[in-house]
Chains A and B, each alone.
Chain A
Amino acid sequence: MSEMVRWTIMEAADKIRSRSVSPVELVNAYLSAIERIDSRLKSFITVTGDLALERARAAEKEIAGGLYKGPLHGIPIAVKDIIDTAGVRTTGGSKILADNVPAADARVWQQLREAGCLLIGKTNLHEFARGSTTDNPHYGRCRNPWDIDGSRIAGGSSGGSGAAVAACLCAGALGTDTLGSVRKPSSRCGIVGIKPTYNLVSRVGVIPLSWSLDNVGPMTKTVSDAAEMLACMVEPSMKERLAGTGPFLSESFSVNGKRLGLVNGWWDARCDSEVRAAFDKAIGVLSDLGAAIREVDFPHMARFFAAGRVLAISEATAVHHSRIRRNLDQYGKDVRNALLSGFTVSAKDYLHCLRLRAWGVRQVRELFSRIDAIVCPSTVEPAMKIEEVHGPASLDMAFYTAPAAFLGIPAISVPCGFSSYGIPIGLQIMTPHFRDDLALNIAAAFESATDWHGMRPPVCE
């Protein structure tokens, strides 16, 4: 595999800017890698090779002519196939939308495209983003690149994006996160993924799952790549809510003295011994960097997880009501069953959870007056085998990720180790609303003190 595909976005950007490599060469390298691996990995639903090459040639001309747009110019990006791309089919991972070709780009993809990103393809996902395995009955079971011939899940619902970035089939990717669908596959595939503050990034042109919980987030090899993509993705009308006006990452940032909270009774309530061991070491690294690790009482997280699940299924059922009446037999079994079961949740219970959310936002603001960030594992276990995932058991996979979505706060997953069977594990960092910069800076400090982010699965060799 060409060394080029192993570059981070920022490394590739340097080469493109200095014209030591052209976007056309970069796209060709990724297309060769996709050709070699993806029939096994199943991370893409549609590969847009011709389109990517056409846009790469245009980018090459622009750059040669002195019109360099910035670090994302000429960078091949994969987009989860639930985000509209003009002229390129957007299936939502569903058979029902197999021929759906949007006329316009989703707002977020338009922003990235205008910054110079090239669409290399649309990635596989759990059908309609409602699930955590990316075992898609219509477009194939996405494999975990660290276990490509085994049955460990890539995670989901943005499993294709996670697998494609980890296997070096694109420079970065877009995912969507309702209760953890960016962070869980990022953790399981050994990459970085951030769920931004709710509404910081536009959802216009993204097929909804749950209006009040859906977010679009970048998935990348490094924190600086994620920061670069996210800076471009911020909805212009939301910029004034952010803490600063400059780039998300600050060279002068230090973790020294930052108060990182371990929520008593929650952070270690569900994680297995493999995750626990990696997380303990990660906390040791942060402590060595000068962070003040504090145990804090905040006895609500497990209930926020439960309330997030109730909100998500209620809204997903409402989103799909008409479609499932018309096309019941076109849904895969697990998504069909989940959506049908959602009809048993009452409006009264949904509203109780929305009230709990308003209450929870007040509580977490108070918590953040005492600490700078909450740290916890990204997932309960590194990655289950697909045959171990049955019905309701998969719901609990979001135990550590759902609370941030429920509260609308930013949360990032960054690689922090490996299981004894070679599957990556992630550290999750959550910060106050609109302090996405703080989550990114803490993650960057952790990343620079460790080597996990530089490891690639054997399939990339």
Chain B
Amino acid sequence: MNMKAFIKQELERAELSVDEDILEQLVPMCLRWQEYIRETREIDPGDVEPAFDLFRS
């Protein structure tokens, strides 16, 4: 699935509908989130639980 179709699908799941022009504008930002996510995956935090309480970590 291409990025635009993926964005459209995720927005529909969130009960949001936007026109083609806006969808086009969202592509660069969504690509940047994917880039950031890739960077975060470079660290494997092992068996650590999520930091729901920052100071219990």
**Chains A and B bind each other:** yes
Most-contacted residue by chain A among B15, B26, B37, B50 (CB, 10 A): B37
Interface string of A393-404 (1 = CB under 8 A from B): 001000000000
- Sort chain B's interface into a size bin: 35 or more
Are A325 and B16 in contact, with the CB atoms below 8 A?
yes
The 9 closest A-B pairs by CB, nearest first: A354-B50, A359-B45, A358-B51, A341-B29, A306-B36, A357-B51, A358-B57, A392-B32, A306-B39
In the complex the two chains form, is A361's CB within 8 Å of B57's CB?
A: yes
Q: Is A344 part of the binding interface, using a Cβ–Cβ cutoff of 8 Å?
A: yes
If over half of B's interface residues share one DSSP class (helix, strand or loop), that class is named, otherwise mixed; here it is helix
Cβ of A324: which chain B residues have Cβ within 8 Å of it?
16
CB distance from B45 to the nearest CB of A (A): 4
The segment out of A105-113, A219-227, A345-353 that lies at the interface is A345-353
Q: By the criterion CB–CB under 8 Å, are B25 and A307 in contact? A: no
The answer, yes or no, to whether A319 is at the interface (CB within 8 Å) is no
B-facing mask of A319-359, CB < 8 A → 1, else 0? 00100110010000100111011111100010111111111
Expressed in whole angstroms, the Cα–Cα distance for A352 and B28 within the complex equals 23
Other contacts beyond A337-B25, A355-B50: 11, CB < 8 A: A199-B55, A303-B42, A306-B36, A325-B14, A336-B22, A340-B7, A341-B29, A341-B33, A345-B33, A359-B57, A408-B54
Quick one: given A306-B39, A392-B28, are A343 and B10 in contact (CB under 8 Å)? Answer: yes
Q: Is A310 an interface residue (CB 8 A)?
A: yes
Chain B residue, CB-CB nearest to A351? B50
B45 touches A356 (CB 8 A): yes
Name the interface residues of A59-91: CB closer than 8 Å to any CB of B.
none
A358-B45, A361-B57, A392-B29 given; A341·B7 CB < 8 A: yes
Name 19 interchain pairs, CB-CB below 8 A, sorted by A: A212-B54, A306-B36, A306-B39, A307-B40, A309-B33, A309-B36, A340-B16, A340-B18, A340-B22, A341-B7, A343-B7, A344-B6, A344-B10, A345-B37, A354-B50, A357-B54, A359-B45, A408-B55, A433-B55
Among A354, A358, A408: residue with most chain B CB under 10 A:
A358
Q: Is A198 an interface residue (CB 8 A)?
A: yes
By a CB distance below 8 angstroms, the chain B residues around A198 are 54
- The answer to the question of A313 belonging to the interface, with a C-beta cut-off of 8 Å to chain B, is yes
Interface size classification for chain A: 35 or more
A294 close to chain B: CB less than 8 A:
no
* A341 with B30: CB separation less than 8 A: yes
Assuming the contacts A337-B25, A341-B26, A344-B10, asked whether A358 and B39 have C-beta atoms less than 8 A apart, the reply is: no
Task: Say whether A19 faces chain B, with CB atoms less than 8 Å apart.
Answer: no
- CB–CB A342/B33 < 8 A: yes
Asked if A370 CB lies within 8 Å of chain B CBs, one says no
Contacts of A231 in B (CB 8 A): none
Instruction: Please provide the chain B residues from 1 to 57 with a CB less than 8 Å away from any CB of chain A in the complex.
Output: 6-7, 10-11, 13-16, 18, 22, 25-26, 28-37, 39-43, 45-46, 48-52, 54-55, 57
Q: Choose from B14, B29, B40 the contact partner of A352 (Cβ within 8 Å).
A: B40
Q: Chain B contacts of A362 at CB under 8 A?
A: 48, 57
Contact between B29 and A337 (Cβ–Cβ < 8 Å)?
A: yes
CB <8 Å contact, A356 and B18? no
A302 within 8 A of B: yes
User: B37 → chain A, closest Cβ, in Å?
Assistant: 5
* In contact, B40 and A343 (Cβ under 8 angstroms): no
Contacts A344-B6, A357-B50; A310 near B36 (Cβ below 8 A): yes
A391 CB-CB contact with B under 8 Å: yes
Interface membership of A385, Cβ < 8 A: no
**Most chain A beta-carbon neighbours within 10 Å: one of B6, B13, B36:** B36
Residues of chain A within 8 A of B11, CB atoms compared? 340, 343
Q: Which residue of A lies closest to B16 (CB)?
A: A325
Contact with B along A196-224 (1 / 0, CB 8 A): 00110000000000001000000000000
Contact B22 A337 (CB under 8 A): yes
Q: How far is the CA of A315 from the CA of B30 in the complex (A)?
A: 15
- Taking each of B14, B28, B30, B54, which has the highest tally of chain A beta carbons within 10 Å of its own beta carbon? B54
A300 at the interface (CB under 8 A from B): yes
Q: CB < 8 Å: which of B18, B22, B35, B57 contacts A357?
A: B57
- Across the two chains, which residue of chain A brings its CB closest to B34? A344
Q: Which residues of A contact B41 (CB under 8 A)?
A: 352
Report the bound CA distance from A195 to B53 in whole Å. 18
Q: Say yes or no: B29 contacts A391, CB within 8 Å.
A: yes
In-complex Cβ contact of A306 among B6, B15, B31, B40 (8 A): B40
Docked pose: A359 CA to B26 CA in angstroms? 31
| Nearest opposing residue in chain B for A357, CB measure | B51
Q: How far, in angstroms, from A359 to B49 measured CA to CA in the complex?
A: 8
Q: How far is the CA of A321 from the CA of B34 in the complex (A)?
A: 20
Contact status of A325 and B15, CB under 8 A, knowing A306-B40, A391-B28, A395-B32 = yes
